[in-house]
A = this chain, B = another copy of it.
Amino acid sequence: MKPIDEQFKIIQRGTDEIINPDALKAKLKENRPLIIKAGFDPSAPDIHLGHTVLLRKLKHFQDLGHQVFFLIGDFTGRIGDPSGKSKVRKQLTAEEVAENAKTYKKQIFKILDEKKTKVVFNSHWCVKLGEEGLFDLASRYTVARMLERDDFLNRYKNNVPISILEFLYPLLQGYDSVVMEADVELGGTDQKFNLLVGRALQKNFGSDPKTIPAYLGKSIDTFRKDTAAPARKTYNFDSQIIITMPILEGVDGVEKMSKSLNNYIGINESPDNMFGKIMSISDNLMWRYYELLTDADHLMLKENVAKGKIHPKTVKTDLAKLIVSEYHGKDKAEEACSKFDAVFAKKENPEDMPGFFIDKEKIGIVDLVKEVGFAPSSSEARRLVEQMAVSVNEEKITDVKMEISLDKKGKILKVGKRKFGRIFRA
Contact of A139 among B135, B141, B146, B163 (CB under 8 A): B163
Q: Does A156 contact B (CB under 8 A)?
A: yes
> In the complex, are the beta carbons of B134 and A146 less than 8 A apart?
no
B-facing residues in A129-167 (Cβ within 8 Å):
129, 131-132, 134-136, 138-144, 146-147, 152, 156, 159, 161-167
Q: 1/0 per residue A87-131: CB within 8 Å of B?
A: 010010000000000000000000000000000000000110101
| Shortest beta-carbon distance from A90 to chain B in Å | 9
> In the complex, are the beta carbons of A162 and B144 less than 8 A apart?
yes
> In the complex, are the beta carbons of B139 and A167 less than 8 A apart?
no
A143 nearest in chain B by CB position: B162
8 pairs of residues in contact across A and B, judged by CB atoms under 8 Å? A78-B131, A79-B135, A91-B135, A126-B131, A138-B168, A140-B163, A143-B163, A143-B164
Contact of A161 among B91, B142, B152, B163 (CB under 8 A): B142
Q: 1/0 per residue A152-188: CB within 8 Å of B?
A: 1000100101111111100100000000000000000
B-facing residues in A69-91 (Cβ within 8 Å):
75, 78-79, 88, 91
> In the complex, are the beta carbons of A136 and B91 less than 8 A apart?
yes
Please state the number of chain copies in the assembly: 2
| Shortest beta-carbon distance from A34 to chain B in Å | 30
A146 nearest in chain B by CB position: B164
**Residues on B with beta carbons closer than 8 Å to the beta carbon of A135:** 78-79, 91, 165, 168
Bin chain A's interface residue count: 20 to 34
Q: A: which residues have CB within 8 A of B?
A: 75, 78-79, 88, 91, 126-127, 129, 131-132, 134-136, 138-144, 146-147, 152, 156, 159, 161-168, 171
- Decide: A141 near B164, CB < 8 A? Known: A91-B136, A136-B91: yes
* CB-CB nearest 8 A-B residue pairs: A138-B165, A139-B165, A138-B164, A143-B162, A142-B161, A139-B163, A164-B167, A141-B164
**Residues on B with beta carbons closer than 8 Å to the beta carbon of A164:** 138-139, 141-143, 146, 164, 167-168, 171
State A131–B165 Cα separation when bound (angstroms): 11
**Residues on B with beta carbons closer than 8 Å to the beta carbon of A75:** 131
| Shortest beta-carbon distance from A225 to chain B in Å | 21
State A147–B146 Cα separation when bound (angstroms): 13
State A152–B166 Cα separation when bound (angstroms): 18
Give the residue among A91, A139, A144, A171 with the most B Cβ atoms within 10 A.
A139
**Residues on B with beta carbons closer than 8 Å to the beta carbon of A141:** 163-164
- Decide: A134 near B131, CB < 8 A? Known: A142-B161, A162-B143, A163-B143: yes
> In the complex, are the beta carbons of B144 and A161 less than 8 A apart?
yes
State A147–B143 Cα separation when bound (angstroms): 10
State A127–B134 Cα separation when bound (angstroms): 13
| Shortest beta-carbon distance from A273 to chain B in Å | 39
